[in-house]
C-alpha cells in the first residue's frame, strides 16, 4: 500500500492514518488533505488561499477551518509551534512543510518522479495509484476477477466497495487491464459524491487510458474510458470510446445505453432513443433503460410518455434519483409544489447525496415566497459534491431580488469563474454556457445572456420548457430572442424521430408491465400518486 514518509511518521492516505513507533493516529479527511497538499509542495510556502481552494474546492469556509486543521496536524505530529520540526507558519502568507531529519518521500519511485494531482481530496487516490502503476518486475499470478454482488457502481457504498476491491486487484496484478478498468470506473463514480469532481474524473481517465494500453482489444477498458469521460462531461470523447467498445462487443446493450446518455447530453435524442429501447429489451428488469428512455422522450417533446417510462424505472428502483427528479420537475412545472416537496423530501431521506433535491426544495420555497427558507436551502445545496454550481446562481438571483446587490455580485463572480474554468477544461454539453447565460441574465446584461443561452442550445440544451419557467432566466421572458431560442418547436426533427418510439412504447414496456401490473396501481406508501400508467396510445405532442 502506498504511503508518504514525513520524518519518522508514515502517512497512509488509503485509510487516513499517521503511524510512528507503534503509534497510529487516524486523521479527519480534510486534515489528511491539508497534510498531503503540504507534502506535495514540501519546502515551499503554500498560501492560505491555495490550501482553502484545494482542500475545500468550491466551498466557502472560514480561515478558522484551515487553522483548526493545522492545529490538529501539529498535535498529531508532536510539533512545536515556536520551534517547528514539520509545519512552519509563514506570517501573513501561509505554511511550509519543512524538511525533517528524514525527508518527505513516497513509497514508490514513480510517485517521486511524477507529481500527485494538485487537488488534496484526490491525493489519497493518487498516492495509491501512482505506486500501483510501477511493477517491481516480478511475475504475478493471473488474476481472476469475480467481484461479489455488493461490488458495483449503483450506490455510494457499492462504489466504495468497488474502489477497495479494484485497488487491491491492481496491486495484485498491475498488468491486468480488467482491474484497471474496474478501478477507473469506481474513480469516475466517486465524482458523483466526493468533492473536487474534476480531479476524480482526471484520475479515472488516466487509469482507464492505462487499461486500454494494457489490452487494446479489451472492450471493458474502452467502456471504462467512456464512463470516465462521461463523468467529466467530455461527451464527444465518451461517445468515441463507447463506440470502440461496441465495435468489439456489439451485443453489449449497457455500453449502448451509456453511448445514448452521451448523445443525449449533446442534444441528439434521435440517436439515443433506439439505444435505450435496446437496453430495455436486453434487460427488462433493469431500471436504467427506462430512466434514460423517460428523459429522452421528455426532451423530444413527449412529456407524458417520458413520465410513463420513468414510472417503470421507479417500479424497479423506487428511490431512483433521475426518474424521481423527472416526476418532481414535472410537478413543479405544473405548479404542484406540495407533491413535489413531498417527493423530494422522501428521496433525500434515502439518497442523502442528492444536492439537486435540496436545490429544488429551495426553488419551491422561493416560488412560494419563503425567501429565508430558500436561502438556507440554497446555501446547504452548495455543500453537495457534483450538484453545487446552480445553487450559487440561485443565491445570486435571490440576494439580488432582496436588494443585496453587493452580495449577489460576489455569488455571480464565483459562478462565472467556475463556469469559465469548466469551459477552459473542455467540459462539453450545455452546462457552462447555460450557467454563464443565467449569470448574465441575473446581472441584467441581456445581450451577453442571449449570446450564452444560444451557445447552450447549440451545445445540446433541450430543457427549454424548464428555461421558460426557471427564475434564473426570468429577466428574459419578455425578450423575443429568448422566446425564439427556448421554443421547443425549433426541434421538430427530434419530435418526429421520437414519434415511432412512442408508437411502440406499449410494446417496449410490455415485459415490465406484465410482470409488475399490480404495482402500477399501488404507489409507494406516503409518496404522491404517480401519473397514470401508459395510456396505450401516443399523445399529440409536447406543445
Q: Is 420 helix (H, G, I), strand (E, B) or coil?
A: helix
Cell numbers given for 102: 528524514
Q: Is 94 helix (H, G, I), strand (E, B) or coil?
A: strand
488 neighbors 267 (Cβ within 8 angstroms): no
d(CA 200, CA 163): 12
323 neighbors 290 (Cβ within 8 angstroms): yes
- Bridge partners (DSSP) listed for residue 303: none
d(CA 430, CA 423): 10
Neighbours of 346 (CB within 10 A): 18
Task: Chunk the chain into consecutive blocks of 10 residues (it has 543) and report each block's average pLDDT, rounded to whole numbers.
Answer: 72 81 80 84 82 76 78 83 83 78 44 35 48 44 64 87 91 91 95 85 92 94 95 92 95 95 94 96 93 95 93 91 94 95 94 93 96 96 84 96 95 92 83 95 96 94 94 96 94 94 94 82 57 42 42
Measured N-to-C along each axis, helices 431-443 and 446-458 cross at an angle, to the nearest 10 degrees, of: 160
d(CA 144, CA 540): 53
pLDDT of the residue at 235: 92
- Bridge partners (DSSP) listed for residue 25: 18
d(CA 323, CA 264): 16
pLDDT of the residue at 214: 92
d(CA 488, CA 231): 27
Amino acid at each position: 500500500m502506498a504511503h508518504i514518509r514525513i520524518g519518522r511518521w508514515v502517512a497512509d492516505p488509503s485509510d487516513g492514518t499517521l503511524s510512528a513507533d507503534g503509534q497510529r493516529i487516524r486523521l479527519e479527511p480534510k486534515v489528511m488533505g491539508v497534510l498531503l497538499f503540504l507534502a506535495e509542495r514540501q519546502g515551499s510556502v503554500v498560501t492560505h488561499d491555495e490550501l482553502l481552494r484545494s482542500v475545500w474546492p468550491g466551498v466557502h469556509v472560514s480561515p478558522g477551518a484551515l487553522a483548526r486543521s493545522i492545529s490538529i496536524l501539529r498535535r498529531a505530529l508532536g510539533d512545536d509551534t515556536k520551534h517547528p520540526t514539520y509545519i512552519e507558519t509563514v506570517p501573513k502568507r501561509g505554511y511550509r512543510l519543512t524538511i525533517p531529519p528524514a525527508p518527505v518521500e513516497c513509497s514508490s519511485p514513480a510517485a517521486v518522479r511524477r507529481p500527485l494531482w494538485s487537488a488534496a481530496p484526490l491525493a489519497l487516490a493518487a498516492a495509491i495509484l501512482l505506486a500501483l502503476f510501477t511493477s517491481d518486475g516480478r511475475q504475478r499470478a493471473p488474476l481472476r476477477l469475480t467481484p461479489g454482488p455488493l461490488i458495483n457502481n449503483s450506490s455510494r457504498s457499492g462504489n466504495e466497495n468497488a474502489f477497495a476491491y479494484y485497488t487491491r486487484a491492481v496491486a495484485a496484478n498491475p498488468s491486468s487491464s480488467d482491474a484497471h478498468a474496474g478501478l477507473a470506473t469506481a474513480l469516475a463514480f466517486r465524482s458523483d459524491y466526493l468533492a473536487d469532481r474534476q480531479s476524480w474524473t482526471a484520475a479515472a481517465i488516466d487509469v482507464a487510458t492505462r487499461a486500454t494500453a494494457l489490452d487494446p482489444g479489451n472492450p471493458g477498458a474502452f467502456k471504462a474510458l467512456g464512463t470516465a469521460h462521461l463523468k467529466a462531461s467530455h461527451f464527444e470523447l465518451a461517445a468515441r470510446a463507447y463506440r470502440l467498445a461496441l465495435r468489439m462487443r456489439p451485443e453489449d446493450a449497457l455500453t449502448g445505453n451509456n453511448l445514448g446518455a452521451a448523445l443525449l447530453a449533446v442534444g441528439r435524442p434521435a440517436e439515443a432513443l433506439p439505444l435505450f429501447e435496446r437496453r430495455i429489451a436486453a434487460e427488462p428488469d433493469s431500471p436504467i433503460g427506462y430512466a434514460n428512455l423517460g428523459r429522452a422522450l421528455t426532451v423530444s417533446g413527449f412529456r407524458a410518455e417520458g413520465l410513463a417510462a420513468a414510472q417503470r424505472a421507479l417500479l424497479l428502483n423506487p428511490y431512483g434519483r433521475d426518474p424521481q427528479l423527472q416526476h418532481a420537475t414535472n410537478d413543479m412545472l405544473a405548479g404542484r409544489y406540495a407533491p413535489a416537496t413531498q417527493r423530494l423530501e422522501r428521496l433525500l431521506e434515502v439518497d442523502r447525496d442528492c444536492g439537486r433535491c435540496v436545490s429544488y426544495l429551495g426553488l419551491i420555497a422561493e416560488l412560494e415566497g419563503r425567501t429565508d427558507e430558500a436561502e438556507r436551502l440554497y446555501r446547504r445545496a452548495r455543500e453537495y459534491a457534483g450538484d453545487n454550481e446552480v445553487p450559487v446562481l440561485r443565491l445570486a438571483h435571490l440576494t439580488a431580488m432582496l436588494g443585496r446587490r453587493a452580495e449577489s455580485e460576489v455569488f455571480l463572480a464565483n459562478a462565472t469563474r467556475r463556469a469559465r474554468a469548466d469551459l477552459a477544461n473542455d467540459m462539453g454539453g450545455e452546462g457552462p454556457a447555460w450557467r454563464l447565460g443565467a449569470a448574465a441574465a441575473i446581472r441584467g446584461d441581456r445581450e451577453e445572456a442571449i449570446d450564452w443561452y444560444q451557445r447552450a442550445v447549440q451545445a445540446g440544451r433541450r430543457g427549454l420548457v424548464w428555461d421558460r419557467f426557471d427564475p434564473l432566466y426570468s429577466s428574459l421572458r419578455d425578450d423575443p430572442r429568448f422566446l425564439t431560442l427556448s421554443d421547443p418547436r425549433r426541434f421538430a426533427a427530434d419530435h418526429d424521430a421520437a414519434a415511432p418510439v412512442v408508437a411502440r412504447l406499449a410494446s417496449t414496456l410490455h415485459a415490465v408491465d406484465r410482470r409488475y401490473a399490480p404495482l402500477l396501481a399501488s404507489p409507494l406508501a406516503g409518496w404522491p400518486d404517480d401519473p397514470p400508467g401508459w395510456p396505450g396510445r401516443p399523445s399529440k405532442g409536447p406543445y
